[in-house]
Structures are given as structure tokens and as C-alpha cells.
Amino acid sequence: MIKTRDKFSSLGFVVAAAGSAIGLGNIWKFPYITFANGGGSFVLIYLIAIALIGLPIMLAEILMGRRSQQSPVTAFLYFSKDVAGGKLWSGVGFLGVAAGLVILSYYSVVAGWTVYYFGKCVQWSVSGFNETIASSLGTEFGSFLGNGPMQVLFHAIFMSLTVGIVISGIKGGIERVTKLLLPILMVILSLLCVVAMFTPGFGEAIRFLFHVGPIHTEAVLEAVGHSFFTLSLGMGALITYGSYLGRKQSIPRDALMICVLDTVIALMACVVMFSIIFSVPEAERATTFTKSATILFTTLPRMFYSLPGGVIIAPVFYLLVAFAALTSTISLLEVVASFLIDKLGWTRKKAALIAGGTIFSSGVLVALSLGANETLSTWAPFGERDAGVFGVLDYFASNWMLPVGGLLTAVFVGWFLDSKLTRDELEEGHGMFKLYGLWRFLLRYVCPVAICWIIIAVIGGRAFN
């Protein structure tokens, strides 16, 4: 009996892939790197990177998945039969599966923080948020990080949710959950934007976000690097989701929609956060922001509670971030699970449980590396800047695994796949793809050059995380 592959319904793919793209990268990371890189110029380069590098590679990943009907490892095997290098190309797929394991191990720990802060905010909203709590937010966050059992507990909660959804399959699990959560997320974020419009910092936030000043090389590198992470590219997540895409759907249109949704959400998150940040008097700002990466958990609660309606906004906001993270963690686990299903013939349940269990275990090391365990917290094979298991894994995934995976995917599809095959697949369900020539040009030349440049910068000591 031939097993037919589980499929998304018509809108299911866009929603699930957008759900994968929209995550902590948009709501937690993008605002703080934009803030650190000076606003408008960074946003502009980021938009260019999405259009010229992210979008073309996204098309390449989706077309590989839909044509082969396979997850990354077996997808590369499927295409590489008559291609120079042969089976070696499946190494790119393995790299993707490994990246999924690595990224989810720490992503789920951070995702756990959002659940914890949701709970905290509910508690503060009910029993009152006062000056004492406000002034101890930084210490509170620090001791939460250093609390091993708590870190493991919230990581476990998040991994269990993720495994549960992946077990339920494509249509019944992933599609159903993202179709429910993504609209809620967009409504909440839109409401928060409306609230932001009435804060005193709104005008300055908009000016900061869209005023283009001088452009620095550093910012360009960071923007290109982030465009991979935020679109979930470089590790075959979209090859996997593409393999569940129906033949009547248009790949170019769907990919464009995913990029637009991801970008809009990232910008909305910036509007909300910056409006709140700029509402604080300038003199106080410097003392409030110790480290931009922790703004979300240290500065923001305090600001929420100083706003009218803060008792509602605060918990709702953390719930939103948790939802965004959940639709991303399921895509990361799906890559690993579908590999076990396609390659080893395991059932979905067995694959999700074993992959989830493995990731949970490696994540425990991450959870204990935030202060709870001395050795794990200070391990620094790549230098002090990325000390600790958490820092090491993030460095390795964001700087090496994703760029290398993206580079090899671009080279493989651009240079090794027959142009008739790629054109047919992109036109299937779409009709004539007028920008085909441009797409192929970007994939063959612009993407590899840009990514090699990042890799060289990383070798030279620049890190993106």
C-alpha cells in the first residue's frame, strides 16, 4: 500500500510556515538588535536582506520539499542521484536535522521564560504591582535564570506542548494549532500597537525606526544573519513544510506572504517596544537598560504596569510571545521528527517522543547553564563572549549551521538542479513566473556571495547572536 503524505489544506501551509517564521526572533531578538544597531538604517538593510537573500532561498527550500515529497535528508538524496557530489549532498539535510536539535535545545528554554512571565504577570495583575517589585525586576530575572529546577521545569512544559502538537500530525496538529494561534497573535499585537499610539514615546519610536542614518558594515552583517533565523531558513524547516504543500498552491505567492507577515510582525513588535521605551524620560533610560537582550523580561513588565490598562496588557503580551514561540518550536521539532519518519520509517508518535526526549535532555544542560551550574555556565570554547552551553549553542547555530546550510541549499538549487525542473515546480499552481530569471540570478550569485561574506566575517571573529 502506498502511503499518501499528510497535506496542509490550502491556507494551512502559509499559516504554519508564517507561524514557524514568526517567533522569539521577531518579538524578542529583532527589537533589541534594531535598538542596538541604531534603528532606521538597520531596518532598511534588513528589508533588503529579506527581499534579496531570504525570499529567494525560501523559494528554493519550498520547491525542494514539494517536488521531492521528503524531509531534508531524503530530499537531498532524491535530487542528488544524477548530480555531481551524489549522496554527499544529503549531508546538508543532516546538518539541518542537527541544527534543529541544537536550536530547539535553547529556544525551548527561552520560550519557557515567556510562560513563566505570563504566570508572573497574572499574579502581579491580581495581587498588585508595586515599586518594590518594580525595582527588583532585574534581580528577580537573574535569580530565575540561576534557579536550575525552575529552568528545567519551564523548558519541560514547553517541550511537552511542542511534542503533543507534533504527535497530532500535520493537519490535525500543526495546522490546527497555528491557525488558531496566529490570528490571536496578530489581533493582540495590533491592539498593543493601538495602545502604543497613545503613549508619549510613539512619535520618537516611529522616527527611530524609520529614520535612515549612516550605515555600518556591522549592521549589514547582522541583518543578513538575522534574516535567516527569522524566516526559519538554512536548516530545511521549509523543505519539510514544503513537502506537505498541495500542488495547486503557488510557491512564489505563499513565500511572499510569509515574508511579508514575518516582517510586519517584527516591525509591529518594534513599534510596541520602542514606544514604551521612549516613553521613559531620557535620563532614566540609560539606567533602565542594562542589557538590551533582557529588556523583554526586566524593563518591559515595569513599563507595562505604568500604563493605563497595564494589568491586562502585561499578561496578554507574554501570552502572545509564548504563542509565537510555540508555533516556531513545532517547526523545529517537525524537522527532526519527519527525518526519523521518512528515513527510519518510525511512526509519528515514536519519532516525536524520542526526538522530543532527546532535545529535552540536551536542553537540560542549557537550562542549567544560566547560572545554576558553574561548569556549564562558564564553558567557553569559542571565547568569553559566548560563554556557557547556551551561548555556545546559539553561537554555533546562528553563525555556522544556518549560514552554511543556507549557502549549500542556494548553491545546490541554483547551480546543480536543472533549470527546467525548478521553473516547472515554481510555476506549478502559479502559472507563468515572470521573475524566474531574477530569482535564479539572486540564488546563484547574490545569495552565495552575501553568505560567504558572513562566514568570512565570522571566521574573522565577528559573532551574530
Using CB under 6 A, list all residues that contact ligand TRP: 20-21, 23-26, 103, 229-230, 232, 235, 237, 328, 331-332, 402
CB nearer to ligand TRP: pick between 20 and 243: 20
**Which residue's C-alpha cell is 515514536?**
350
Is the CB of residue 398 less than 8 Å from the CB of residue 229?
Answer: yes
Q: Shortest Cβ contact with ligand TRP: which residue? A: 25
Q: Which residue has the cell 536542553?
A: 363
Closest separation in Å from C-beta 21 to ligand TRP: 5
> Minimum Å distance from CB 438 to ligand TRP?
25
Q: Rounded to the nearest whole angstrom, what is the least distance from the CB of residue 307 to ligand TRP in the complex?
A: 26
**Rounded Cα distance, 236 and 304, in Å:** 38
Q: Which is nearer to ligand TRP, 39 or 54 (CB)?
A: 54
Contact indicator for 277, 295 with CB cutoff of 8 Å: yes
- CB of 429 within 8 A of CB of 10? no
**CA angle at residue 57 from 53 to 61, to 5 degrees?**
165
Nearest approach, Cβ of 245 to ligand TRP (angstroms)? 17
Nearer to ligand TRP, 46 or 229 (CB): 229
The residue (of 206 and 326) whose beta carbon lies closer to ligand TRP is 326
Cβ at position 199, least distance to ligand TRP in Å: 26
Cβ 335 to ligand TRP shortest distance, Å: 7
Cell of 185: 497573535
Are the C-beta atoms of residues 340 and 83 closer than 8 Å to each other? Answer: no
Q: Cβ distance 57 to 293 under 8 Å? A: no
Q: In terms of CB distance, is 65 or 310 closer to ligand TRP?
A: 65
Give min distance, CB of 287 to ligand TRP, in A.
Answer: 29
On whether the CB atoms of residues 301 and 148 are closer than 8 A, the answer is no
* 3-state secondary structure (DSSP) of residue 279: coil
Minimum distance between the CB of residue 23 and ligand TRP, rounded to whole angstroms? 3
Whose Cβ is closer to ligand TRP: residue 77's or residue 235's?
235
Which of 12/23 has CB closer to ligand TRP?
Answer: 23
To the nearest whole angstrom, how small is the minimum distance from the Cβ of residue 323 to ligand TRP? Answer: 12
The label of the residue with cell 502581579 reads 124
Question: Residue 54 belongs to what H/E stretch?
Answer: none
Nearer to ligand TRP, 386 or 394 (CB): 394
For residue 275, count CB atoms less than 10 angstroms from its CB and return exposed for 0-12, middle for 13-18, buried for 19 or more: buried
Q: How far is the CB of 364 from ligand TRP (least distance, A)?
A: 21
- Name the amino acid, one letter, at 98: A
User: How would DSSP label each residue in 168-222?
Assistant: T-IIIIIIHHHHHHHHHHHHHHHHHHHHHHTSTTHHHHHHHHH------HHHHHH
CA-atom Rg of the chain in angstroms: 21
Distance CA 5, CA 286 (A): 54
Least distance to ligand TRP, CB of residue 114, Å: 12
3-state SS assignment for residue 236: coil
Nearest to ligand TRP of 137, 366 (CB atom): 366
* Residue 264 to residue 28: CA distance in whole angstroms: 14
Instruction: Rank residues 195 and 254 by Cβ distance to ligand TRP and give the closer one.
Output: 254
Report whether 265 contacts 193 (CB < 8 A).
no
What are the cell numbers at 120? 508572573
Closer to ligand TRP by Cβ: residue 104 or 195: 104
